[in-house]
């Protein structure tokens, strides 16, 4: 027993005045346990693959084995284009490794202006602004365009960067059912007629590879007085006569107000952008926080991007080859009995839908052991309860590689019992 006002020897003062704080990572305990249980079965971690050496847009060395790449978003194969690589090397020699500053301070070099000029030419639009990533492009544009008292209307299956752009701002957010023109019309009709409204659409949805009915959706949005932002991250390069995206193919180029895209898919490097004909567009350089408050892209990156974009404008043969590859692989997998995300090939993405996580991981690992890398996707990146292998084709995949891919899927599917 202790005297009143004294502390037990095993209870120091700090323990009473500074109790242990709650573990802020405890909310992820269930996910940690799930991952550990999965890895204890002997499978590799699908989200921790290391490319030991990249040989080409379609092949890499993974743990000492030459592996076909079918999960890189390198749609047009520009990562190893000789002109693109040479432009990056030249800029690295002339301007150094980085800018160490924001675009509004010391971070605008001649190369940043040149890549924005290349974008204006490629899209035949008056204005272009470049961000350090595609994620930041959506984050910046959406949070800046729609503010308090405005409404953002978006597809329920929109990319995480779109949702995060909504959360960074303070507009009211309204979701409509995936690719439903009728639901978009209904929800727009419930909003105050004179409120500011921004409808956000995606040309290609990255999980299932399906495309949006942009012509119908744009018509509905305009009927309700909304402005439109279209994300063409997965459509740039091979949709439309000039490769501008699904909005070009749908014939709504003059009705979409803002087009957001990325350099990390068809362009073959890293960065994001927005193009527009809006006469007040340039004010965004002063008010868009993810543009103002981050370092600009290195000179070598913008040099590679500008060169790649200018070449993509004339890449008609590449576009044709990519579509050939996509249609052939889709048919091959469908004929084998796999459940796919779309009834026909709609883009360069083909989703192989599997019944559960265990089957998805088993298929993914078996394919890797056979020499094929694909992406495994699970919630929250996919809808609840949906597990899939996402295949991303490249214009540089040779005919014999596509044949090998189909054969490996057949072998892996039978080994895992996914197909008969």
The residues annotated with a catalytic role in the active site are 206, 234, 265
Beta 372-373 vs 272-276: how paired, if at all? unpaired
Residue 90: Cβ-neighbour burial (10 angstroms; 0-12, 13-18, 19+):
middle
Extract the tokens encoding 372.
């094929």
Extract the tokens encoding 397.
């995949």
Rg of the chain in Å (alpha carbons):
24
Instruction: Identify which of 194, 213, 205 has the alpha carbon closest to the alpha carbon of residue 151.
Output: 194
* Cis ω for the linkage preceding 380 (within 30 of 0): yes
How far from each other are the two terminal CA atoms of the chain, in whole angstroms? 75
Q: Is residue 404 within 8 Å of 415, Cβ to Cβ?
A: no
Distance, in Å, from the CA atom of 235 to the CA atom of 123, rounded to the nearest integer, reads: 13
Which are the contacts of 238, defined by CB distance < 8 A and separation ≥ 6?
75, 76, 266, 318, 319, 322, 323, 348, 395
Which are the contacts of 10, defined by CB distance < 8 A and separation ≥ 6?
none
Q: With the C-alpha atoms ordered 356, 358, 359, 361, is the resulting torsion angle positive or negative?
A: positive
Distance, in Å, from the CA atom of 10 to the CA atom of 160, rounded to the nearest integer, reads: 49
Q: Is residue 200 within 8 Å of 152, Cβ to Cβ?
A: yes
């Amino acid at each position: 027993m202790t005297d009143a006002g004294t502390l037990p020897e095993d209870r120091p003062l700090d323990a009473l005045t500074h109790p242990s704080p709650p573990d802020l990572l405890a909310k992820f305990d269930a996910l940690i346990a799930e991952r550990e249980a999965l890895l204890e079965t002997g499978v590799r971690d699908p989200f921790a693959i290391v490319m030991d050496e990249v040989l080409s847009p379609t092949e890499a060395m993974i743990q000492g084995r030459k592996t076909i790449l079918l999960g890189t978003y390198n749609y047009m194969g520009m990562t190893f284009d000789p002109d693109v690589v040479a432009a990056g090397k030249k800029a690295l020699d002339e301007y150094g490794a980085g800018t160490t500053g924001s675009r509004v301070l010391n971070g605008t070099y001649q190369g940043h202006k040149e890549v924005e000029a290349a974008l204006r030419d490629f899209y035949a639009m008056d204005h272009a602004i470049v961000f350090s990533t595609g994620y930041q492009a959506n984050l910046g544009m959406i949070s800046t365009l729609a503010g308090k008292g405005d409404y953002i209307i978006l597809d329920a299956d929109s990319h995480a960067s779109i949702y995060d752009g909504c959360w960074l701002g303070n507009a009211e957010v309204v979701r409509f059912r995936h690719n439903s023109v009728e639901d978009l019309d209904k929800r727009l009709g419930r909003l105050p007629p004179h409120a500011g409204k921004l409808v956000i659409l995606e040309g290609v949805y990255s999980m299932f590879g399906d495309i949006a009915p942009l012509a119908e959706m744009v018509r509905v949005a305009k009927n309700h007085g909304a402005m439109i932002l279209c994300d063409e991250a997965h459509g740039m390069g091979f949709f439309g006569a000039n490769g501008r995206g699904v909005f070009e193919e749908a014939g709504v180029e003059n009705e979409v107000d803002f087009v957001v895209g990325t350099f990390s898919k068809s362009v073959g490097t890293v960065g994001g952008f927005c193009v527009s004909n809006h006469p007040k567009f340039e004010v965004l350089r002063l008010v868009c926080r993810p543009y103002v408050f981050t370092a600009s892209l290195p000179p070598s990156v913008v040099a590679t991007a500008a060169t790649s974009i200018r070449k993509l404008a004339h890449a008609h043969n590449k576009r044709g080859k990519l579509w050939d590859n996509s249609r052939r692989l889709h048919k091959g997998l469908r004929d084998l009995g796999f459940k796919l995300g779309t009834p026909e090939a709609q883009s360069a993405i083909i989703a192989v839908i599997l019944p559960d996580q265990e089957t998805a991981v088993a298929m993914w690992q078996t394919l890797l052991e056979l020499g094929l890398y694909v992406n495994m996707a699970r919630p929250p990146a996919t809808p609840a309860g949906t597990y899939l292998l996402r295949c991303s084709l490249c214009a540089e995949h040779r005919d014999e590689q596509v044949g090998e891919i189909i054969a490996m899927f057949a072998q892996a599917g039978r080994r895992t019992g996914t197909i008969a």
